[in-house]
Chain A
Amino acid sequence: MIRAALTDLLLVGPAALAVVLFIFLPVGVVFGLAFTDYQVGAAQAEWVGGANFAQLFGSRLGRNALLNTLTYAAIVIPGSVGLGLLVALGLHGMATRLPRLSALLRAVYFLPVAATLVAMAVSWQMLLHPSLGLANTWLQALNLPGQQWLSDRGLVLYTLAGIGIWQSTGYNMVLFLAGLAAIPSTLYDAAAVDGADRGWTRFWSVTWPMLGPTTLFVMIVTAASAFRVFETVATMTAGGPAFASDTIVYALYREGFVYFKAGYAAAITVVFFLALLALTALQMLLVERRVHYR
């Protein structure tokens, strides 16, 4: 008995220790720091209670970052889930008639997912350049006014959201394609016999409900990545102009790594961590409850 217990401990011990050392302990430290005014490099820190949290939710900048993130997510989630679904439906339908083209398009749509975002950001900057970029050249060819895609305060967040959609549609498409392939064809036959043999009726009575679990999963994954938006902001706008594209994770970076305000950055991390935790919990709850059809 004791020997077996020792063996178990020996097997589990190192990994558990690593988890505690490299995950739980740092997370604990972050939670602790969140209640201090610690600055990177400072010798000491003061306990400030909830002041950092009050600043995040109370200050203009903090609320701006939260609101920007929510706006961004509110565009990117439906946008990339919807577009991913549409593309998947198109490619799924095309796969039987034009298999080669379908496979080619699938790869094309997936490219943004596989590409390095920072490299892509450079391309986007060139495309969206106000006087030299293709985007404005096309607009002008259509006699429409060019736009300051990345430096107009009213537009920049939507531009980034557009890029966010472009970036995640391919991934969602692949998930939806897998979901579509898993729908038994007899259900479509059943629906056809029941009177739903084409178009929307068929989509609403079979495809959409059968994609329920996939859709929920895709939504949660997209939401998690939308709330985490950082690379595009950091590489293309640095949160600007005038904080118009400041998001929660960029603010975290800005406060901690540019302003050296580790305590405040830790508070943002804590809020962000809890929000993602809640999202995950929601997912598990919903998956258990609703969409497993049990």
Chain B
Amino acid sequence: MKHLILSAGLALSASAALAETELRVHYAIPTIWAETQDKLTAAFMAAHPEVTLTLDGPAEGYEDGAQRLLREHVAGTAPDVAYVGLNLWRVLEDRGVLQPLDPFLPADPQAAGYTPALLSLGRFEDTQWGLGTSASTLVMYVNPALVEQAGGSMEDFPTSFDGVIELAAKIDALSDTTEGVWIARHDWRFQSLLGSHGGRPMTEDESDITFDDAAGLAAAGLYQRFATEAGMSSMSENDARQAFPAGTLGIMFESSSLLTRFTEGAGDSFDVTVKPLPVAAEENVYFPTGGNAIVMLTEDPAKQQAAWDYIAFVTGPEGQKIIVENTGYAPANKLVLDDSAYLGSYYAENANARTAHAQVADHAGPWYAFPGAEGVAVTDLIAAALVEVTEGAEVEPTITDLAETLRLQLGMK
């Protein structure tokens, strides 16, 4: 609360006294982004000498970052451009922090590499509020050593959830310390399984919850099947992220953004291999995409143009190349994928990255953010319900209850 007071004081002195071509950029998670941001800044300023970029001190995480942007907006000291979590830009949009990008988008976005799937990451109700800069989807990380010990084969790796469960059960049975499969009980992972079954968490107009349909029950049911049929333990995300590189976990469903970390963590002990998430439904399949969106905050028309130049640069092929090569995130521009001049050699050396990124191009979809004041809060309720299901609560009543609770809490009824 003290911050509010201070911000109110700062608001008095703050004004648009900045030079016309100076842009302030906000980003979060320096452990992943710091070097990449420096390279992006250097590359952009080389291409646009009339614009000076300053990076704000980064926020530790996406939530902190969003908090800070909200505060700075109240105080009138917000940066001009910001990288925000793909699931959090709606919070900012909801509070009027963001500027629409539609006036700046080229007439034919597709030609610039912005496919409809990629545009959907930053779009709400026909307004483009942000553009994806880096994408990740849920993939399977596999420990080939354990798979082979359990009598499975990497060449003939299962592509259905049933097959994965069967294999995981065999890995789990290898010894006391090995575990077959693990997935976090978490909103985004659930949305991914849901999308794989062709389901959606909400209707298009966000007026109702829809994950209590057959697809949702099947997705939540997977949690329970992992536990009962493949012996999935209830270890925490931290525990699992240690266990997989340590070689005691056979198959881990995780964000593709962890590839570098797992590969380095496993070292020489085994070859971390990425397999695409099984697709369970015939149609309507999509994978909610995590990662960053870039958004525009400045209201100054002169700065807006410079800001757009920057946004276009980092979401364009050159910026995307820098981001992909430095973070391992999947690109959010079709051009870099289509034209092997950009990333061809990178993918030749990084087969796992190719697998993960191909999945993004095929199935990228929005990470649904629930609307309104309780939007973030309900994601924890989803996670809690998944814990219960994993620990044996009946799937159907639990998910139905959850959907009802969400409808009430989100004011959908």
Please determine whether chains A and B interact with each other in the same assembly: yes
Chain A residues within CB distance 8 Å of chain B: 22, 25-26, 29-30, 33, 37, 39-43, 125-126, 129-132, 140, 146, 148, 150-153, 236-237, 239-243, 254-255, 257-262, 266, 269
Say which residue of A41, A131, A260, A261 sits within 8 Å of B73 (CB atoms).
A41
Nearest chain B CB to A146's CB is how many angstroms away? Answer: 8
Task: Report, nearest first, the 7 A-B pairs whose CB atoms are least far apart.
Answer: A41-B70, A242-B387, A242-B384, A41-B95, A151-B236, A259-B377, A151-B234
Say which residue of B1, B92, B387 sits within 8 Å of A240 (CB atoms).
B387
Closest Cβ neighbor of A40 among chain B residues: B70
Whether B239 sits at the interface, judged by CB under 8 Å, is yes
Contact status B185-A42, CB under 8 Å: no
Contact status B238-A132, CB under 8 Å: no
Mark the stretch among B38-46, B241-249, B345-353 that contacts chain A.
Answer: B241-249
Whether B341 sits at the interface, judged by CB under 8 Å, is no
Contact status B67-A259, CB under 8 Å: no
Closest Cβ neighbor of B377 among chain A residues: A259
Nearest chain A CB to B139's CB is how many angstroms away? Answer: 22
Closest Cβ neighbor of B234 among chain A residues: A151
Expressed in whole angstroms, the Cα–Cα distance for A40 and B20 within the complex equals: 30
In the bound complex, residues from chain A placing their C-beta under 8 Å from that of B2 are 22, 26
Expressed in whole angstroms, the Cα–Cα distance for A41 and B246 within the complex equals: 42
Expressed in whole angstroms, the Cα–Cα distance for A259 and B70 within the complex equals: 12
Expressed in whole angstroms, the Cα–Cα distance for A40 and B66 within the complex equals: 10
Contact status A30-B95, CB under 8 Å: no
Whether B235 sits at the interface, judged by CB under 8 Å, is yes
Say which residue of B71, B377, B384 sits within 8 Å of A41 (CB atoms).
B71
Contact status B235-A240, CB under 8 Å: no
Contact status A150-B236, CB under 8 Å: yes
Beyond A125-B238, A132-B246, is A243–B380 a contact (Cβ under 8 Å)? yes
Expressed in whole angstroms, the Cα–Cα distance for A236 and B248 within the complex equals: 21
In the bound complex, residues from chain A placing their C-beta under 8 Å from that of B69 are 41
Whether B411 sits at the interface, judged by CB under 8 Å, is no
In the bound complex, residues from chain A placing their C-beta under 8 Å from that of B234 are 148, 151-153, 241
Within 8 A of A (CB), among B356-413: 373-374, 376-377, 380, 383-385, 387-388, 391
Closest Cβ neighbor of A150 among chain B residues: B236
Contact status B243-A131, CB under 8 Å: yes
Nearest chain B CB to A195's CB is how many angstroms away? Answer: 56
Provide 6 A-B residue pairs closer than 8 Å at the C-beta atoms, listed in order of the A residue: A29-B1, A125-B239, A140-B176, A148-B233, A239-B380, A261-B377
Whether B91 sits at the interface, judged by CB under 8 Å, is yes
Whether B266 sits at the interface, judged by CB under 8 Å, is no
In the bound complex, residues from chain A placing their C-beta under 8 Å from that of B97 are 41
Contact status B243-A132, CB under 8 Å: yes
Beyond A130-B239, A151-B235, is A258–B71 a contact (Cβ under 8 Å)? no
Whether B299 sits at the interface, judged by CB under 8 Å, is no
In the bound complex, residues from chain A placing their C-beta under 8 Å from that of B109 are none
**Beta-carbon contacts of B242-275 to A below 8 Å, as 1s and 0s?**
1100101000000000000000000000000000
In the bound complex, residues from chain B placing their C-beta under 8 Å from that of A131 are 177, 179, 235, 239, 243, 246, 248
Nearest chain B CB to A124's CB is how many angstroms away? Answer: 11
In the bound complex, residues from chain A placing their C-beta under 8 Å from that of B380 are 239, 243, 254
In the bound complex, residues from chain B placing their C-beta under 8 Å from that of A269 are 1
Contact status A39-B95, CB under 8 Å: yes
Whether B309 sits at the interface, judged by CB under 8 Å, is no
Closest Cβ neighbor of A121 among chain B residues: B238
Nearest chain A CB to B393's CB is how many angstroms away? Answer: 10
Contact status B233-A153, CB under 8 Å: no
Within 8 A of A (CB), among B1-25: 1-2, 4-5
Contact status B377-A255, CB under 8 Å: yes
Within 8 A of A (CB), among B85-100: 91-92, 95-97
Nearest chain B CB to A208's CB is how many angstroms away? Answer: 41
Nearest chain A CB to B132's CB is how many angstroms away? Answer: 23
Closest Cβ neighbor of A145 among chain B residues: B176
In the bound complex, residues from chain B placing their C-beta under 8 Å from that of A39 are 95, 373
Closest Cβ neighbor of B91 among chain A residues: A260
Beyond A41-B71, A150-B236, is A257–B95 a contact (Cβ under 8 Å)? no
Contact status B5-A25, CB under 8 Å: yes
Contact status B373-A129, CB under 8 Å: no
Expressed in whole angstroms, the Cα–Cα distance for A40 and B238 within the complex equals: 29
Expressed in whole angstroms, the Cα–Cα distance for A259 and B66 within the complex equals: 11
Nearest chain A CB to B336's CB is how many angstroms away? Answer: 34
Closest Cβ neighbor of A133 among chain B residues: B239
Expressed in whole angstroms, the Cα–Cα distance for A136 and B103 within the complex equals: 59
In the bound complex, residues from chain A placing their C-beta under 8 Å from that of B242 are 125-126, 129, 132
Whether B325 sits at the interface, judged by CB under 8 Å, is no
Expressed in whole angstroms, the Cα–Cα distance for A254 and B313 within the complex equals: 36
Contact status A258-B235, CB under 8 Å: no
In the bound complex, residues from chain B placing their C-beta under 8 Å from that of A41 are 69-71, 73-74, 91-92, 95, 97
Within 8 A of A (CB), among B144-195: 176-177, 179, 185
Contact status A30-B384, CB under 8 Å: no
